[in-house]
Amino acid sequence: MTLKPVENKEVYQVLNDLTVEVDVLNNPYDFQLGQLFQMAARINKNRSFLFVSKVLGKHLAVNPKIPLLVGSLLAIRYLEVVHGESDSRAQKIANAIQTNEGLEEIWGSLQKAPISLPKATTFVGFAETATALGHAVFSSFSNNAKYIHTTREQIESLTSIINFEEEHSHATSHRVYALDAEFFQDDSEVVLVDDEVTTGKTAINIIRTIKAEYPLKKEFTVVSILDWRTPEYRERYRQLEDELDVKIHTIALIDGVVSISGTPSTEEHETKTDHSFQPEVSYLPVSHLLSSDGLQQSSSTSVNGIPNKSSYLHATGRFGLSIEKEKAFSNQIQAVANYVKEKRRGKKTLVIGTGEFMYLPMHIAAQMGEGVSFHSTTRSPIYHTNSNNYTIWQKFTFDSPENQGVTNYLYNIQANQYDEVFIIFERMSSLDAASPLIEELARVNLPYINIVNMTEIVE
């Protein structure tokens, strides 16, 4: 991939024949584009390109404090634009994200003095990529906040209260399972959090659905790291405001317009790795550190019919979470982090979250000391090749440990890059469910693989 400056634009050539032209309109914290993302080609008939975030921890490994700080920076930006209140720490947060320096100091400041929110607000994170980002925005506040994230899972014994589509995605259907029937039954503002907005259709779909089901809702904000809507798509928000008699704000770290031409040359080249290495695999159950009131005993069935009877965690926000409950769960999550930290054996440690289960593993990783990176498995298929300095040069492909029958991916892990890895699961149907991922990780000579399971396995 090459980058060529053209006046106020950046032009990316992706896999030779795909051209992505970016015209930046607003950049309040003076980010360089390369500090936030790289370009790649996605395996998707509806959208051929992908902004691969360098600050989310989804497709590329990061210092776990960076995505947490990105959430806080978006929270402060939201407070300033929508409520007219500033926070002097904003530029310091941006500088830490940009330079990878001073992360501990500013993160500690936000932990000790979270942001005050002037009125009741409901935050919604979009699965799967923005579940952690939405949670990080929500948890930056000290009051007046509650959170829930959408999910692609079908949870038995529960009924989704909101259903909507994300047309361009590889898995289009979203559901919202709020245990509290009154969760949306008020006039609080709804803040929708996504990592990147290109057309805004997903936000429009959920706003329509929420407004139809909960007519008291009058104010919405769409928060994202990147907002690439064209003038035509921006006008659709204005039209929706008039149609539904609502107000829609938009918040982003980078605001601009993209234009796409051509198609990528998508011949994949596999990175050669050793299949003979046998890592030491340890199983670390931590359910004894969590209280029973933090569990949701609902089962699910994978797409190929394999049941998972293990409990979900309320602390993820999948079923609705108040800021008070968030604080109550924090001591338990800290206990898990301390326990896992004691099990470290190396100086270069990778913590892996899985699918929608990103925020808690990320938060645990942030409390495990120096030399820790965070990464997550994903359902998003991206073309990979080890030629021409392309963004995604290596790919693991395996059966999802949580939803067997669904292909998952993990990208860009070099041989001998880490001393050890901790894979943190919310719920496992069996220990064998992790075997395909373990087999893939063994290809890069990881000497120690630790399976951290948050809830008890129910056979």
| Predicted confidence (pLDDT) at residue 173 exceeds the cutoff of 80 | no
Identity of the amino acid at 41: A
Mean pLDDT to the nearest integer, 370-391: 91
Cα–Cα dist 425/454, whole Å: 6
Domain harbouring 413, CATH code: 3.40.50
Domain harbouring 224, CATH code: 3.40.50.2020
Cα–Cα dist 459/351, whole Å: 26
- The pLDDT assigned to 171 comes to 47
Out of 82-96, 256-270, 385-399, least confident range:
256-270
- The pLDDT assigned to 13 comes to 87
Residues 176 and 228 in one domain: yes
Identity of the amino acid at 218: K
Cα distances (Å, whole numbers) of residue 316 to 141, 161, 195, 210, 357: 16, 18, 18, 21, 7
- The pLDDT assigned to 146 comes to 97
| Predicted confidence (pLDDT) at residue 91 exceeds the cutoff of 90 | yes
Residue 436 φ then ψ, to 5°: -60, -40
Mean pLDDT to the nearest integer, 146-167: 86
Cα–Cα dist 20/383, whole Å: 16
339 sits in the region (left: phi over 0; alpha: psi -120 to 50; else beta) called alpha
What stretches of 117-275 adopt beta strand conformation (E)? 121-125, 145-149, 162-165, 173-176, 189-197, 219-227, 247-262
**237 found inside a domain:** yes
**Chain segment 46-82, per-residue pLDDT in tens:** 677 899 999 999 999 999 999 999 999 999 999 999 9
Residue 349 structure tokens:
């440690």
- The pLDDT assigned to 459 comes to 76
**Burial (CB count within 10 angstroms: exposed 0-12, middle 13-18, buried 19+), residue 242:** exposed
Identity of the amino acid at 353: G
Residues 302 and 443 in one domain: yes
% pLDDT > 90, the chain: 76
- The pLDDT assigned to 446 comes to 92
- The pLDDT assigned to 268 comes to 56
Out of 59-73, 136-150, 373-387, least confident range:
373-387
Q: Are 53 and 130 spatial neighbours (Cβ–Cβ below 8 Å)?
A: no
Cα distances (Å, whole numbers) of residue 157 to 154, 184, 296: 10, 20, 11
Q: Is 176 helix (H, G, I), strand (E, B) or coil?
A: strand
**Burial (CB count within 10 angstroms: exposed 0-12, middle 13-18, buried 19+), residue 216:** exposed
Most confident of the ranges 62-66, 166-170, 406-410: 62-66
Which of the listed residues 256, 271, 288 is the one where a domain comes to its end? 256
**pTM for the full model?**
0.94
Q: Are 390 and 437 spatial neighbours (Cβ–Cβ below 8 Å)?
A: no
| Predicted confidence (pLDDT) at residue 289 exceeds the cutoff of 90 | yes
| Confidence at 272, pLDDT banded by 50, 70, 90 | low
- The pLDDT assigned to 267 comes to 61
Residues 248 and 349 in one domain: no
Question: Is the Cα torsion angle 51, 56, 59, 63 positive or negative in sign?
Answer: positive
Residues 249 and 357 in one domain: no
- Look at the block and give the residue holding tokens 């997903």: 202
Mean pLDDT to the nearest integer, 248-265: 90
Cα–Cα dist 221/437, whole Å: 37
Cα–Cα dist 237/200, whole Å: 8
Cα distances (Å, whole numbers) of residue 227 to 27, 123, 127, 377, 380: 11, 18, 18, 24, 20
| Confidence at 6, pLDDT banded by 50, 70, 90 | very low
Residue 171 structure tokens:
């898995």
**52 found inside a domain:** no
b/e map of 41-59 (b: 16 or more CB within 10 Å)?
A: bbbeeeebbbbbbbbbbbb
- The pLDDT assigned to 172 comes to 58
Residues 107 and 251 in one domain: yes
- Where helices occur in 257-351 by DSSP H, the ranges are 323-342
- The pLDDT assigned to 211 comes to 96
- The pLDDT assigned to 265 comes to 62
**55 found inside a domain:** no
Residues 209 and 293 in one domain: no
Q: Is 147 helix (H, G, I), strand (E, B) or coil?
A: strand
**270 found inside a domain:** no
Mean pLDDT to the nearest integer, 137-156: 94
Q: Is 349 helix (H, G, I), strand (E, B) or coil?
A: strand
Residues 306 and 381 in one domain: yes
Residues 243 and 337 in one domain: no
Number of compact structural domains in the chain: 2
Residues 393 and 338 in one domain: yes
**9 found inside a domain:** no
Q: Are 148 and 190 spatial neighbours (Cβ–Cβ below 8 Å)?
A: no
Mean pLDDT to the nearest integer, 36-42: 92
- The pLDDT assigned to 1 comes to 40
Residues 306 and 420 in one domain: yes
Residues 189 and 289 in one domain: no
Q: Which residue has the higher pLDDT, 268 or 219?
A: 219
Out of 7-11, 56-60, 88-92, 401-405, least confident range:
7-11
Q: Provide the residue range defining the domain that includes 106.
A: 67-256
- The pLDDT assigned to 3 comes to 42
- The pLDDT assigned to 288 comes to 93
**241 found inside a domain:** yes
**138 found inside a domain:** yes
**Chain segment 312-346, per-residue pLDDT in tens:** 999 999 999 999 999 999 999 999 999 999 999 99
Mean pLDDT to the nearest integer, 432-440: 93
**8 found inside a domain:** no
Sheet holding 9-14, edge to edge: 2-6, 9-14, 18-26, 247-262, 219-227, 189-197, 121-125, 145-149, 321-322
Residues 358 and 238 in one domain: no
- The pLDDT assigned to 4 comes to 43
